[in-house]
Amino acid sequence: MDLFSRSWAALRTAVADLPDEDFARPSGCAGWLVRDLVCHLVIDAQDVLITLATPTAAEPTRDAVTYWEVSGTPPTGDDPLDALTVRLAAAYEEPWLLKFHLDDVGSAAGRAAGLADPGAGVGTRDEVFTVDEYLTTYVLEWTLHHLDLVAHLPDAVDPPAEGLARSRALLEAIAGAAFPASLSDRDALLIGTGRRGPTEAETAELGGLAARLPLFLG
């Protein structure tokens, strides 16, 4: 839960430090500008608040690894929520409004996470998780989106090293295989989730795992 808080705080700080012109630049999410990604983060924060306010006494049905729906094909952008996110982001018009909303809702989500009982059950997407496992999924979510945020912004700050390491471990568990030690945590995440293609040398190092990548997480 501490790593959730550090990853989330780092991502929100990175957004807060962006100059206005960066909101119109591309992000690492195909088809999304930085402003669209930030709007998605607002929706993510709302989801965290809703889930933490949805307690259940039922037994967990998933954990931080099995939470993800894994696909071998990239998103097309046709999903209604994705389309809504782009329209909603454009409606903000001024970057400071997006920054304000993310800070407002995001801070509340962070406080709620800090107050939650790690072993308690919560429900989301018709599944049950412990709070600890649910928040751990967001370490991966925040870290990947932090990489998306800075993909074309060389002056922006990278995700925390501990978040990169934990996210790599989660992605390896999802993949059922370890990435080569020669790959940095950042590169393992980018290649593993299709955010960039591997070089010929990296493909050789990945061996049989290369044929199973990328993994698109939903």
**What would the pLDDT profile of 93-129 be if each residue is shown by its tens digit?**
899 999 999 999 999 999 999 999 999 999 999 999 9
Report helix, strand or coil for 109.
Answer: helix
What pTM was estimated for this model as a whole? 0.95
Instruction: Identify the pLDDT of residue 77.
Output: 66
Low-confidence ranges of the chain (pLDDT < 50): none
Q: Which residues are CB-contacts of 147 (< 8 A; sequence separation ≥ 6)?
A: 28, 158, 159, 186, 189, 190, 195
Report helix, strand or coil for 67.
Answer: coil
Distance of alpha carbon 83 from alpha carbon 110, whole angstroms: 27
Q: Which of 38, 25, 18 is nearest to 142 (CA)?
A: 38
Distance of alpha carbon 145 from alpha carbon 134, whole angstroms: 17
Report helix, strand or coil for 51.
Answer: helix
Is there a contact between 4 and 113 (Cβ–Cβ < 8 Å)?
yes
**For residue 124, what are the β-bridge partners?**
127
Instruction: Identify the pLDDT of residue 76.
Output: 67
